[in-house]
Amino acid sequence: MYEISDDLKALAREVIVSHSNLAPLANGECRIAYMWCDAEKKRNGKAVYADTEKVNDKVKTVAGVDFVITFYRPNCAGLNDEKKRILMYHELRHVGFEPGGSCRIIPHDVEDFEDIITDHGMNWVI
Ligand SMILES: [Zn+2]
C-alpha cells in the first residue's frame, strides 16, 4: 500500500535548500511525488530503503508529476533522522532535471564492494 507523504516532502525541501547542487529542483518546475510504501522491498537479496522513478509520459499526464520517490517503511524503520536525510539526499541525486522540462534518472557513480572502497578509495579504477 502506498501513501503520499507530506513529511517526506518537507524533508526533501529541507535537503534541497541545503545542497546547492540540488538547486534545479528548487524552482517548482520539477514535480516530485513522495510516498511511503508498506511493503518490504528487496533487490538481489538486499533491503531497498528507497527508490526514485521517472514516470512515463502517460503517468505524467494523469498524475502531474515527473518523478516518484518511494521510501519503504519496514526497511526504513531503523533509520534515525540523520540517516533519513542522507537517504533523501541520495534519492534526490537520482533526479536529473533540466529547467525546461527534460527529465532523466541519474545513475550511481559507483557499484563496488565496501572493502575495496575502504582500502582503495572510490576512484581506484581510474
Ligand atoms: Zn540510489
Residue 19 lies in a domain: yes
Integer-rounded Cα Rg, in Å, for the chain is 15
Give the residue numbers spanning the domain of 75.
2-120
Q: Residue 53 C-alpha to ligand 1 middle, in angstroms?
A: 10
Sheet hosting strand 67-72, strand order edge to edge: 2-4, 32-37, 67-72, 50-54
Q: Which residues contact 93 (CB under 8 A, 6 or more apart)?
A: 21, 22, 106
Report how many domains make up the chain: 1
Q: Residue 54 C-alpha to ligand 1 middle, in angstroms?
A: 13
Q: Residue 49 C-alpha to ligand 1 middle, in angstroms?
A: 9
Residue 19: the pLDDT is 96
What are the Cα distances from residue 119, in Å, to 112, 115, 116, 125?
A: 12, 6, 5, 13
Q: What is the pLDDT along the chain (126 residues), one digit of tens a residue?
A: 999 999 999 999 999 999 999 998 987 789 999 999 999 999 999 999 999 999 999 999 999 999 999 999 999 999 999 999 999 999 999 999 987 778 999 999 888 999 999 999 988 977
Residue 27: φ, ψ to 5°: -85, 0
Report the CATH number that the domain containing residue 7 is assigned in CATH.
3.30.2010
Residue 125 lies in a domain: no
Residue 46: the pLDDT is 92
- State the Cα–Cα distance between residues 6 and 122, nearest whole angstrom: 35
Lookup: cell for 96? 536529473
Residue 27: the pLDDT is 77
Q: Residue 103 C-alpha to ligand 1 middle, in angstroms?
A: 16
Residue 126 lies in a domain: no
Residue 55: the pLDDT is 95
Residue 63 lies in a domain: yes
Contact 68, 91 (CB under 8 A): no
